[in-house]
Amino acid sequence: MISKDIKKQRKKRKALSEEEKIAIIREHFLEGTNFQELSKKYGVHSSTISITIRKFAASNDKSALLMKNKPIDSQAEELKALRAEVLELKKKLHDETMRADFYDTMIDVAEEMFNIEIRKKAGTGQSKGCTKTK
């Protein structure tokens, strides 16, 4: 026969809220937290954790696989790499903008100093060049 204490424990089992279920699923798939740790954290039996995760995985096959295969660490690393790439590209853009401004200024100075037109004016035609006659 089951003692009264065990019966009371069974009755007092905690039901998980939807928010807790979502948090458990995320922690398990994204952070790799095991059932025992989740059980202690949320105050429920590990079988409750297992059932919650199994139900989610069964109803969301693709999401569960994606979450399982791409842990948060790799996402953080990817984000860090993308930020570094953005910074590098911003620096290159700045350098090229400075270079274009330098060439623009150099042409302005040369046109003024030597009194010649280096930039082609809009609307002027191309020179025809030499033609050979027999």
CB 56 within 8 A of CB 64: yes
Say if residue 42's pLDDT is above 80. yes
Own/partner contacts of 20-29, CB < 8 Å, gap of 24 or more, are 21/52, 21/56, 24/49, 24/52, 24/53, 25/52, 25/53, 25/56, 25/67, 26/67, 28/53, 29/64, 29/67, 29/68
pLDDT digits (tens, 9 = 90+) for 97-113: 999 999 999 999 999 99
pLDDT digits (tens, 9 = 90+) for 54-84: 888 787 765 655 555 555 566 778 888 889 9
pLDDT digits (tens, 9 = 90+) for 81-95: 889 999 999 999 999
| The pLDDT of residue 7 | 52
